[in-house]
Structure 1
Amino acid sequence: MTNNFSYAQAFSRTIGWVTENELDILCNKKIAIAGLGGVGGSHLITLTRLGIGKFNISDMDRFELANFNRQAGASMSHIGQAKTVVMAQLALDINPELEINLFSDGVSLDNLEEFLTDVDLYVDGLDFFAMTIRRAVFAACAKKGIPAITAAPLGMGCALLNFLPGKMTFEDYFQLEGYPEDEQLLRFLLGLSPAMLQMPYLVDASRVDLNNHKGPSTPIACELCAGLAGSHALKILLNRGNIPSAPHGIHFDAYRNKLVHTWRPGGNNNLLQRLGLKIAKHQLSKKLTPPLNP
């Protein structure tokens, strides 16, 4: 055994599902990930093991005990440490040749231009409730022609949407402009998950608290998100395979053994979505809100 690193050897077991030339392509691609919590950290590790060679990563938080049930870098030895630093170390321990830029104050309007410079793909790892900066990042991606993926961990499943250059934009799909924060959150949830596969097994609705930005979560959902987002990242970066783009989406729920391909022309302006929003508001009034997994 040797401690000398070799990219070709480290990722050779991927060959067969991708060609040697495609692995070289992945090595030279750059992905931006905003948020390194529940899904973001898993995205980084999965994409690093896929052979991606360059990253911009951002997060302003530090690891704490409440992260242990789902976050890739959360452990006793990492409590109190910056998520960007910990996750960069974990990724570099897999591939010491990574080019990885840290944005340890988080992504903001002030550094968004730098965060997306020379980026081939954006993968959303922001907290569910971070609507203002999420909208800004997706708007910038659309303007720059950068494909963007959001994979939402819901219950024990994943709801995935791709926003591709020249196709329907994040704002066109979710229709958030002009609404107060609580309704933006509902519109985001219903847009991500028109099928709401996670609802039947929510056993304690009181654990969902939109006002205080809290909701239940599972590691199952986060790992499924990393797998689904990783497979679509591969297809987008290699320009191969079927890549559904909003208003088309995918929702897989491992608990219910269900896979649904969603299609909402007009996004949240769709008649079915408008009906779903009315029902969700009624549920909120009864404190029976749907499950979130930030």
Structure 2
Amino acid sequence: MFNYEEAFSRNIGWVTRDEQQILRNTRVAIGGLGGVGGDHAIVLSRLGIGKFNISDLDDYDVANFNRQAGANMNTLGRPKAEVMEETIRGINPEADIKNFDQGITDENLEEFLTDVDIYVDSLDIFALEMRRKVFRRCYEKGIPTITAAPMGMGTAFLVFMPGKMTFDEYFAIVDTPANASEEEKANIFNDNIIRFVVGVSPSIQQRHYIVDSTSINFFKKKVPSTCMGISLAAGTLCTNVLKLILKRGDVIYAPHGLHFDAYRNKLIKTWRPWGNKNPVQLYMFWRFKQIIKDNT
């Protein structure tokens, strides 16, 4: 028979019994259940989080096998949201799960964020407009938000706190004019993805050891990823979820960030006043464009 206290008893010592009950009654929204999202869901479940709003609209395919927690021959072709709901319930049968298996939309965004204590961002890197809408609504509702991106064999993370610097202020995403041509739209989209990458990862440590730059093609929505980066992202993000929920421990929030790269044995804390409008960021934007310009 399942017993919550016994199932998560090995957490005690790092959290108190009272704190474990706080985690049990916390609702976390996770946008996206693929690479990092699947790992986030599993780690938070094992932490004892008892309530989830989860969302994904994709099915597993073979190309997911190198990095996604739920991807294997037994789940091939199955919806990610369905598999991850089963996984969470397998860890905690008492979990309260609201499954938005058609993805986050304009129509269900309000419901997706109802009664949510913290939002974990793991949307696809190319779902930039919906990501902006989710972060904007979280800010309006006073919901802390956190994103941790797998960058090569490391991770970079950012937290956005209510009343502090917003996602839009930090990333300085450029809106597409209504009368833009298809080519202009494509170029703006490409540049905005670069803004997101250099915003999350201001030091771009992963650029030092990529061995095939042709694997990066934003126009074709193609970027490389490793399971090591995803596991590091989950550990970093979920630790900060714990600190935010339990209100203990220092939390680094935008325009401050952190990037740990296991391959380079480096930990870098970043501070970018004005976000992507910072002169250092403007240079990194230009530099990263130079790196990938022959592959887009």
TM range (shorter): over 0.9
Q: How far did residue 16 of structure 1 move?
A: 0.5
* Superposition map of 1:143-158 within 5 A: 143-158=140-155
Identity of aligned residues (%): 52
Q: Which of these residues, 106, 111, 130, is aligned with residue 108 of structure 2?
A: 111
CA-to-aligned-CA distance 1:238-257 (integer Å, 9 cap, x gap): 01110011000010011111
Equivalence for 2:221: 213
Equivalence for 1:77: 74
Equivalence for 1:96: 93
Equivalence for 1:272: 280
In the superposition, the TM-score normalised over structure 2's length comes to 0.95
The question of whether the paired residues in 1 share the 8 Å contact of 2:37 and 2:122 is answered with: yes
Distance in 2 between the 1:25 and 1:170 partners?
Answer: 28
The reply to whether residue 67 of structure 1 matches residue 64 of structure 2 is yes
Q: How far did residue 12 of structure 1 move?
A: 0.5
**Structure 1 unpaired stretches of 5+:** 290-294
2:141 counterpart letter in structure 1:
K
Q: Which of these residues, 39, 44, 47, is aligned with residue 44 of structure 2?
A: 47
Compute the RMSD of aligned alpha carbons.
1.0
The question of whether the paired residues in 1 share the 8 Å contact of 2:213 and 2:292 is answered with: no
How many correspondences in the alignment? 285
Distance in 2 between the 1:118 and 1:241 partners?
Answer: 24
* Superposition map of 1:18-57 within 5 A: 18-57=15-54
Secondary structure, counterpart of 2:69 in structure 1: coil
Q: How far did residue 80 of structure 1 move?
A: 0.8
CA-to-aligned-CA distance 1:84-137 (integer Å, 9 cap, x gap): 110010110000000001111000111000000000000011011110100110
1:147 counterpart letter in structure 2:
P
Distance in 1 between the 2:73 and 2:148 partners?
Answer: 27
Equivalence for 1:14: 11
Distance in 1 between the 2:99 and 2:30 partners?
Answer: 10
* Superposition map of 1:102-141 within 5 A: 102-141=99-138
Q: How far did residue 233 of structure 1 move?
A: 0.1
Equivalence for 2:256: 248
Equivalence for 1:169: 166
Distance in 1 between the 2:144 and 2:157 partners?
Answer: 14
Secondary structure, counterpart of 1:251 in structure 2: strand
Distance in 2 between the 1:77 and 1:178 partners?
Answer: 42
CA-to-aligned-CA distance 1:4-61 (integer Å, 9 cap, x gap): 0000000000000010000000000000001000000000000000010000000000
2:197 counterpart letter in structure 1:
L
Equivalence for 1:263: 271
Q: How far did residue 279 of structure 1 move?
A: 1.7
- Structure 1: 4+ residue segments shifted above 6 A: none
Distance in 2 between the 1:81 and 1:196 partners?
Answer: 34
Secondary structure, counterpart of 2:170 in structure 1: helix
Equivalence for 2:181: none
